[in-house]
Amino acid sequence: MRDYKLEISRVVRSKEKARASYDRLSRWYDLLSGRFERRYRDAGLRMLDARKGEVVLEIGFGTGNCILALANAVGAEGKVCGIDISPGMCSVAETKLRKAGLSDRVNLQCGDAARLPFESGLFDAILMSFTLELFDTPEIPVVLDECRRVLKSGGRICVVAMSRGGKQGPILRLYEWFHKKLPSYVDCRPIFAEKMMDDAGFHIRNVVSMNMWGLPVEIVLAQKQT
C-alpha cells in the first residue's frame, strides 16, 4: 500500500528558528505574504462559516487578519481564541484588535499547537490557514489529534494548505526544490491535508481546490465525529 507520508518533504528547521524568523517578519508580513494569501484565507473563512455566539480557535493566526474576521462573525456573544508560535506576530495582531475595538472578545496566546493550552471540548470550530504544512510530518497527526480533543462533538475544522495531491507541475517541483535546499527560508511545503485529516478521524465534509501561481491549494472542511 502506498504511504503518502513518505512523499512529503520533511521540515528540518527547529521551532526556535521558526519563532525567531516570524518575529523578524512580523512587521512586514502583511506586505510580503499576507495580501497574496488573502483570497485563500477568505475562502477558508467562508467555508468554516463561524456564527454568532460560537467559540472559535485559530491556530497560527499570524498578523491577525482572520482573527478580526472571526471576532466580527461570532459577535459580542461569542469568543475567539488564537495561538501562534511568534510573540512578534501576536503583538501585531493585538494592535489590530485594539484599533478595531475587538480585544474584549479575543484571547491570543503564544504557544505550540502540538500542546494546545485549552480544555477538551471547548470549541465549536477551528481554523488553520497556511499553518499545518509548517509542522514536520510526524507532528501533523499530533496537531490534528489536539484539534480533535479541543473541539466539541460535531465541531468543525477548516484547513487551508498547500497541496501535494493531484498533478505535480513544474512550479510545485521547483518550490519543493527550494524547500529542500533552503529550509530556513522556505519552511513550509505541500502536504496531503485531506488524507491526513481523514486519518485523524475527522469526517470530511467539503474539499475545494485552488491555485496560487501554479501551487495547488487545498481547502478542507471536516467535522469531529459525534
| Separation CA 84–CA 134 (nearest Å) | 12
Rounded to whole angstroms, how far apart are CA atoms 70 and 65? Answer: 9
Burial-class residue 2 by CB neighbours within 10 Å (0-12, 13-18, 19+). exposed
| Cβ partners under 8 Å of residue 216, min gap 6 | 162, 163, 164, 165, 166, 172, 190, 209, 210
Domains defined along the chain, listed by start? 4-224 (3.40.50.150)
Give me 190's grid cell: 505541500
Helix (H) or strand (E) holding 141: helix 140-150
The pLDDT assigned to 198 comes to 97
The predicted pLDDT at position 179 comes to 65
pLDDT value at residue 103: 97
- 100 membership: H or E segment, kind and range: helix 87-100
Question: Tens-digit pLDDT profile for the chain (226 aa)?
Answer: 557 676 788 888 888 988 988 898 888 888 777 667 899 999 999 999 999 999 999 999 999 999 999 999 999 999 999 999 999 999 999 999 999 999 999 999 999 999 999 999 999 999 999 999 999 999 999 999 999 999 999 999 999 999 987 666 776 677 676 667 666 666 678 999 999 999 999 999 999 999 888 888 999 999 998 7
* β-pair partners for 221: 158, 206
**Concatenated DSSP letters of 54-80:** -EEEEES-TTSHHHHHHHHHH-TTSEE
pLDDT at 176: 73
Pairing of β 106-110 and β 123-129: unpaired
* 191-212 exposure pattern, b = at least 16 Cβ within 10 A, e = fewer: bbbbbbbeebebeeeebeeeee
